[in-house]
Amino acid sequence: MTRHMNMASSRGTAEVFNQPKKFNSKNTPSVPVENVPTGILISFEPTEKDHGQNPSESPSFSRNMETIVESEGRSGEAASVVDLNGSRRLEAVQERGDDNPQDQSNSDSMATQNDNQNATDSFKLCGYLDKLGEKGIIKTYKKRWFVFDNQRCMLCYYRSHEVVVPLGSIPIANATFSFNPSDSERPGNFSITVEGRVYQLQAKDYHTKMYWLQELQERRKSYSQLRTSLARDSTKRSSMEPTTGLVSTKRMKEKGGDPWSGLPPLLQPVTMPLHAVGEDTAGSAKPGISLSSIKMDLKNPIVGIKRWKSMHHESVPSNQTNSSVPSQAGADPCNVQAQSSPPIPKPRRKHLNADTSFMRPTSILQRFASNSSENSAEKCPKCAQLQAQLCSVQEELEMLDSEAKASQEVIQILHKQLTEGKIQQSTNVKFLECKTDQAKLTLMHRKDKQLVQLEQLLQEVKHDREAMKKELMAFQSKVGDLEEQISMFKEMLVAKDEIVMDLTMKIGDLEKAPPVTASSVEETSPQSPNSFTDQNFLGEKVDGFSVGQKLPPVANAFYLDRHEYEKLKDACQAFETQNKFLNKEILELNELRTQDQLRENTYTEKLDEFEAELYKLQSKHCLLLNELKAPRREVTSMEDTDDLVSQLIEEAIQSRGGDVENPVDDIPGRELYDKYGFTESLDDEDKEADEPLVTMAAEFQKKVDEIAMKHKSDENISHSVKWENFIISCRNRALVSTPELKSLVRSGIPHEHRARIWKECIERRVKRDMEECGPCYYEKLKTKNHNTSNPAVKQIELDLLRTLPNNRHYDKITSPGIPKLRNVLLAYSVHNPAIGYCQGLNRLAAIALLYLEEEDVFWCLVCVIEHIMPMDYYSKTLIGSQTDQKVLKDLLAEKLPRLNAHLDQHNIDLSLVTFNWFITVFCDNIPAETMLRIWDTFLFEGDKVLFRYALAFFKVAEEKLLTKKDYLSIFATLRQLPNMMKDVKKISQIAFHDLNPFPKKNIMAKREVHRKQVTQQLEELEAIRREFVPRHSQDDLIGSDDDDEEFETLEAPPDYP
């Protein structure tokens, strides 16, 4: 596998030669040439097409380079260049490093299997993957943040983990997965096919890819199981729960037996690659193709070139060939930076002097160039011109090269002659120097001896040569042997390709077949044996290959690299893995089909039931219509009609009762409460007032709307996924108020995240108070209660059970919410004696306690009373709240002038209705869903949303109110207003869009004006009361605390005691 992966980096074909040689894009083996200079030539051709089609032919650039790096002993430097580049793309050396953990993890996989299984239960499947773009002419891989949405079984992708709005999503429920092992260049490549659409994705490495595939399969399976179980039992729901607050429930995980455990484990489970998948990767990984990373890509070649330049000038300053290259290479990236369509030369060559570290930047440059050359070749006519020029220059260069070679040979010959001459000369000189014959003789002898020695040497060398030749022969035979193997491998590859094609087609067929018809399942089942046969067939091929090894050598090809063999072996392995994977995929798909069928049967049954019901109803409807027409003529049939009508009414009421009963039967005692703990308010006044049939008709209409809504919302990107992603992106960070978050909050905080977001919203506002008060402030306040007699204590105690009697957390004295509510309210009354306890605060605390812990709820009160709301909202005079009612009245006149005039005409004072909304933040019989949505925005944005929602309520009810023409019926409608506020989406839309603009300045200005008026009125009232209160207070046993403090915010008149 290692080898296989190394191949991946050779994007452009690259060769390393030891002598200048004309470039050849095909993988002709490099022929060694004698007279080896130390220079290395690297040539590239970015012909991706050739490469992709026949990967087995691609030269293994990375391996060659590796070899060189090692042989030069400079691998460290090479690696440092990689670090310096920090490129997103997989680089040869880096990739080599990646192999190790994989091997390691493979060996560990058995050991960690169980842990892994546990991890997948709670683990959120997310991470960065590269996705092949689908738009535009040039399709490139772009880095995307992928998050799996468990609820809808979709893979959503985002520009980055920080972005809230997904770019798109891939439905996994009916998807099939595959990968192409022959695309050795991208080991992390895999594809997801959904309804004819193919998504090409690329994981960081092979291991990560396998992990993703495994997880996706797993999740697809469990989703299918879930759907089947849901089809059987439509009342079962899976919802997430917050972990804090009263609404949290401990989830009991039912671990039933896995019905699919019978499947043979074709593939060993892959462990989770920590560095590539999971929430942690969000922080570490940077979004891929963002602008900054493009800059990085552009910078890298320049850095490389600079490096190269400097090194080159130091080592070989006077090299003719070199001097032209750097300028050319240096110019390219500059152009690239200046304009996105750079003129790129065709095959370029670089002369390099034993500096392997240079190769890194070059390769990057080359890749970059190869990318952009594809881009520019089509567009720029100037490029073509330049390329032509370059070609001619290249030819010249080649001519010069050959000339240089010729002159080198001449020089060598001359050099040899020169040496000969020199030796002759020296011998002659010595000979002449010798005076005596004796001396000459000795010299001769010496020379003779030398001659003999040389001859002997020559002989030895000859022997050596013979031996070498024999060795060569042996090698040749070996090479032939290998050659044979290669051809076998190639054959096998073709066969495998066919098998893969076959399998892919089968999968395609499976996909195309109608998902849940009986026939399709029958069709699919015989197909899995087929696939097994294919596997067997493959096995035979492998066997056949091993036989091929023993074949006699055919020695017609030389220098066949042993690596080639390894490479093919790797490819074989890869294919085997793919085959296994595809087999597993087929089995899984088969199971999915079975599940689908099961589901379909259930649905069909239900559909039949419903259809029968419908026809029954229709027939009755027709009969009734007929009767309604008839009685005008025949008096006798009136009784029949009445019977029919009463029967229908009875049936209608029964069927409604049946609807309600079903869920209760399934989960006894649970469905009486909603997830917030509220009972369904059955004592609605209007239900009694209206005809029961009319109410029911309205309810049915509501259900119709709900179903229509459900289908609509399925089309949109899931709101909850947006939240999931947001929560991941700011896991360890404080909440930052961004427009994105604002709109998210406005669209509602999901139940399971509400606790966290509320808490952060509160803490953001009360941070300073918390710091000032110290760490155990709340605990201290709680103990203080016992010592001091607080006038608020009595009132709090009276109100505890009267806070939310329709919520099961507060409906009994033993309910869990009651002591908490008491603690919080008492603590606040001690914390802020000026306010003490105001009715209404109990509701605020109770709602907050649904989600937050006691202490946080205390801070929530601090936050609402002292930070969000204006002054004196809950004080002894309630001036703030009263003022806001006047402000609301003004705003109503601005935003809804028609309604305002109507109300004025009938002397309706809206503040009688709206006062409660403001002081309890809409915790006043408003449907819980709506009320909590208002709370979301209220805690996040502040008090302005109160006006927004109040006006939105009136806007929703405007038409209905306008039809009411007298005081009482208008008030009756106003009293029913909360029940009309169930469509949260619509109300929010009105509150935050239709009512705009909604400037805060306007509200502030109005508040100021009205506050003065309200204060004055209160002063007058107080003056009147003063006349009898003091006189009365003598025999009044009411604690005088309240009375004394009542008007503390007003100027105390001098005669006030």
Partner 1 sequence: MANRGSHKPNGSSPMCQFKLVLLGESAVGKSSLVLRFVKGQFHEFQESTIGAAFLTQTVVLDDTTLKFEIWDTAGQERYHSLAPMYYRGSQAAVVVYDITNQDTFARAKTWVRELEKQGSPNIVIALAGNKADMANKRMVEYEDAQAYAEEKSLLFMETSAKTAMNVNDIFLAIAKRLPRNDDSGNRQRTQGQHLEDKDRREVKEGGCCSK
Residues that bind partner 1 (CB under 8 A): 683, 685, 688, 795, 798-799, 801-806, 811, 838-840, 842-843, 875-878, 882, 907, 909, 911-913, 915-916, 919-920, 924, 965-968, 971-972, 974-975, 1018, 1021, 1024-1025, 1027-1029, 1032, 1035-1039, 1042-1043, 1046
* C-alpha distance from residue 676 to each of 142, 246, 568, 850 (Å): 43, 8, 62, 7
Q: Looking at residue 252, what DSSP letter applies? A: P
Least Å distance, CB 664 to partner 1, is: 23
- Terminal CA-to-CA distance of the chain, rounded, Å? 95
The two tokens of residue 335 are 């152009």
Residue nearer to partner 1 on the CB measure, 382 or 960: 960
Report the candidate in 309, 28, 184 with the shortest Cα–Cα distance to residue 572.
Answer: 184
Closest CB 954 distance from partner 1, rounded Å: 16
Residue (of 363, 240, 298) closest to 754 by Cα position: 240
**Sign of the dihedral through C-alpha 1033, 1038, 1039, 1043:** negative
**Pair of tokens at residue 264:** 């043979």
For the bound state, the minimum distance from the C-beta of residue 800 to partner 1, rounded and expressed in Å, comes to: 9
Query: Strand (E) positions, 85-240?
Result: 126-132, 141-149, 154-158, 168-171, 176-178, 189-194, 197-202
The radius of gyration of the chain from alpha carbons, rounded to an integer in Å, stands at: 42
DSSP type of residue 150: T
Contact 511, 176 (CB under 8 A): yes
Q: What is the dihedral of CA 525, 530, 531, 532, to 10 degrees?
A: 100
* C-alpha atoms less than 13 angstroms from C-alpha of 557 in its C-beta half-sphere: 15
Matching residue, tokens 């050396």 = 93
Q: In 3-state terms, what secondary structure has residue 250?
A: coil
60 vs 881, beta carbon nearer partner 1:
881
Between residues 761 and 878, which has the closer beta carbon with respect to partner 1? 878
> Which residue reads 């300053």 in tokens?
317
By beta-carbon proximity to partner 1, the closer residue of 657 and 805 is: 805
Shortest reach from residue 212's CB to partner 1, in Å: 53
For partner 1, which is the closer residue by CB, 777 or 971? Answer: 971
The residue (of 444 and 1038) whose beta carbon lies closer to partner 1 is: 1038
| Closest separation in Å from C-beta 1004 to partner 1 | 23
| Closest C-alpha among 1002, 888, 904, 1004 to residue 950 | 888
- Give one DSSP letter per residue of 440-484, joined into a string: HHHHHHHHHHHHHHHHHHHHHHHHHHHHHHHHHHHHHHHHHHHHH
Kindly state the tokens that stand for 962.
């306008």
- Judged by beta carbon, residue 41 or residue 801, the one nearer partner 1 is 801
Nearest distance, CB of residue 669 and partner 1, angstroms: 20
Nearer residue to partner 1 within complex by CB, 771 or 1035? 1035
Among 266, 276, 268, smallest CA distance to 106 is for: 268
Nearer Cβ to partner 1 (581/915): 915
Q: Judging by beta carbons within 10 Å of its beta carbon (0-12, 13-18, 19+), is residue 89 exposed, middle or buried?
A: middle
Q: Which is nearer to partner 1, 778 or 873 (CB)?
A: 873
Q: What are the residues whose beta carbons fall under 8 Å from the beta carbon of 956, sequence distance 6 or more?
A: 980, 981, 983, 986, 987, 990
Shortest distance (Å) from residue 831 CB to partner 1 = 18
Q: How far is the CB of 914 from partner 1 (least distance, A)?
A: 9
Say if CB 896 and CB 951 are below 8 A apart: yes
For residues 783 and 1019, the answer to whether their CB atoms sit within 8 Å is no
Task: Identify the DSSP state of 577.
Answer: H
Q: Which of 957, 858, 818, 826 is nearest to 898 (CA)?
A: 957
Q: Measured from the CB atom, is 101 or 791 closer to partner 1? A: 791
Q: For residue 65, how many other CB atoms are within 10 A of its CB?
A: 23
**Residue with Cβ nearer partner 1 (584 or 843):** 843
Task: Tell me the one-letter amino acid at 359.
Answer: M
- Which CB atom, from 229 or from 806, has the smaller least distance to partner 1? 806
Tokens 């419908």 belong to residue: 614
Closest separation between CB of residue 907 and partner 1, Å?
5
- Residue 387, phi then psi, degrees to nearest 5: -65, -40
**What angle (nearest 5°) sits at the alpha carbon of residue 486, between those of residues 482 and 490?**
170
Q: By C-beta, is 258 or 1036 nearer to partner 1?
A: 1036
Compute the least distance from the CB of residue 766 to partner 1, in Å: 24
ω into 343 cis (within 30 of 0): no
Handedness of CA 773, 938, 249, 246 (dihedral sign): positive
Q: Look up residue 780 and give its amino acid.
A: K
Q: Least CB distance from residue 699 to partner 1, whole Å?
A: 21
Residue closer to partner 1, measured from CB, 851 or 917? 917
Nearer to partner 1, 831 or 876 (CB): 876
Cβ proximity to partner 1: between 24 and 1033 the closer is: 1033
Question: Given the complex with partner 1, which of 1001 and 1028 has the nearer CB atom?
Answer: 1028
CB within 8 Å of 667: residues ≥ 6 apart = 235
Q: Classify residue 921 as exposed, middle or buried by CB count within 10 Å of its CB (0-12, 13-18, 19+).
A: buried
What count of other Cβ atoms lies within 10 Å of the Cβ of residue 988? 22
- CA 805 distance to own-chain centroid: 42
Residue 923: in which H helix or E strand, if any?
A: none
